[in-house]
Amino acid sequence: MKKVLVSGAGGFIGGHLVRRLKSEGYWVRGVDIKRHEFAVTAADEFIVGDLRETDVVRGIVEGISEVYQLAADMGGAGYIFSGEHDAAVMHNSATINLNMLEWGRQAGVRKFFYSSSACMYPEYNQLDPGNPNCSEESAYPAAPDSEYGWEKLFSERLYMAYMRNHGVQVRIARFHNIFGPEGTWCGGREKAPAATCRKVAEADDGGLIELWGDGKQTRSFLYIDECVDGVRRLMESDFTGPVNIGSDEMVTINQLAQMIAKVAGKRITIQHIPGPLGVRGRNSDNRLIREKLQWAPSRPLAEGLEKQYRWVEAQVKNAVAGLAAQ
Ligand code: NAD
C-alpha cells in the first residue's frame, strides 16, 4: 500500500484531503502543529509536530513515497494584509517548505504536491474588478501584494529547483479561495465565505452585517470537494504545473453576501467599513487546467454556499449554546 504524508492535516484542506486519500486506499500519515479542530482525523497515524523543526521533519518523512505539503502560516485578509504577521508568515512557511523538501528527498520521497496560492499573482493585473488576469504565465514580472504571496512564489521556485537538481517529481497548484465545512470560521484567520456566513448566521432577519471595503471587489470561490478532486487529478497526471485550481464563477463580495443571505432565508443590509482588502479583482483562469487535465471545476457557487452556511450556522448555534450553559 502506498504510504503518503499530508502536512497541514490538522487544517481545512488537509483534513478533507486525508479523508479522500483514505477512501482511495492509501495509508496516510498526517502531521500538523495542532489537532484538527472540527473533525476526527481519518489518518492512519497523526503526528502533532512543528514542521519548522528539523528533527520533527526528519522523523515524519521516513517510509513515505509521496508528500502533500499544505502546512503554512496562513489566514484570510484580516491576517495576511494587516502587515502585523509578515515576518512570521515568510519565516514559518518558507522554513516548512525548505525542511520538507530537503529531508523528504534525503529520505527517498519521490513526489511532492505543493499548495501555492493565487495570492502570488501580480497586483498590477488585478486592479480592474471586471477583468482580472490570473493566467499562469502572467506571474512574471512578479509583484504580489502580500508577503504571503511572495513566500508562495519563492516556494514554487524552490520546488521546481529541487525537481531540476534532485530529480524529485513535483506538482504545484495555485489555489483560488477554497471554502467549505470544517475550516476556520472565527478568531481572525477566517476567510470571506466563512466570515460572511458567520455574520449572516448571527444577524436577525432584516439585520445589518459589516463588510470590509465597498464590496465591489471581485473573487471566485471553489468548494472544497472540487479542490480535492483537482489536487488528486493533478497528482496523477504527468503535468507539473503551476496550475490554477479555482472556480471561474466571479462574484463581487456584495453578491457573495446576498447569496449567503438567500441561503439563510434572511434579508440583510450591508454596512461597508474600512478593513484589509487585497487585490481589487481576482478570478481563476481555467484554460490551462482544462488543456492539461481535461477537467476544470464546474459546480455552481450557490451549491457550495448552501453547505458552507449550514455548517457555520451549526457552529454559531453550538457556540451560543455553550455560552448559555456557562
Ligand atoms: P489551514 O490554515 O486550515 O491549514 C494549514 C495548516 O498548517 C494548519 O492546520 C496549521 O496548523 C498548519 N501549520 C502551520 N504552521 C505549522 C507548523 N510550523 N508545523 C506544522 N503545521 C503547521 O489552511 P488551508 O485553507 O487548509 O490551506 C492549506 C494550504 O493551501 C496552505 O498552504 C495555504 O496557503 C494554501 N491555500 C489555501 C487557500 C484557501 O482558500 N484555503 C487558498 C490558496 C492557498
Q: What's residue 151's pLDDT?
A: 98
CB 197 within 8 A of CB 185: yes
Q: What's residue 305's pLDDT?
A: 98
User: What are the phi and psi torsion angles at 11 (to 5°)?
Assistant: -100, -175
CB of 11 closer than 6 A to ligand 1?
yes
> Is 181-220+249-282+300-321 in the same CATH topology as 3-178+221-245?
no
The CATH code that applies to domain 181-220+249-282+300-321 is 3.90.25.10
CB 201 within 8 A of CB 156: no
The CATH code that applies to domain 3-178+221-245 is 3.40.50.720
User: What are the phi and psi torsion angles at 23 (to 5°)?
Assistant: -65, -20
Q: What's residue 321's pLDDT?
A: 86
Choose the residue to mutate in 6, 13, 89, 220 for probing ligand 1, maximizing ligand atoms within 8 Å of C-beta.
13
The one-letter amino acid code at 211 reads: L
CB 40 within 8 A of CB 48: no
HSE-up of residue 64 (Cα within 13 Å, Cβ side)? 29
CB 222 within 8 A of CB 245: yes
Q: How far is CA 166 from the centre of its chain?
A: 27
Q: Which residue has the cell 504545473?
A: 241
Per-domain residue ranges of the chain = 3-178+221-245, 181-220+249-282+300-321
CB of 51 closer than 6 A to ligand 1?
yes
CB of 70 closer than 6 A to ligand 1?
yes
Nearest-atom index, ligand 1, CA of 95: 18
How would you write the pLDDT of the chain (326 residues) with one tens digit per residue? 899 999 999 999 999 999 999 999 999 999 999 999 999 999 999 999 999 999 999 999 999 999 999 999 998 888 998 899 999 999 999 999 999 999 999 999 999 999 999 999 999 999 999 999 999 999 999 999 999 999 999 999 999 999 999 999 999 999 999 999 999 999 988 999 999 999 999 999 999 999 999 999 999 999 999 999 999 999 999 999 999 999 999 999 999 999 999 999 999 999 999 988 889 999 999 999 999 999 999 999 999 999 999 999 999 999 888 877 77
CB of 10 closer than 6 A to ligand 1?
yes
Instruction: State pTM to two decimals.
Output: 0.97
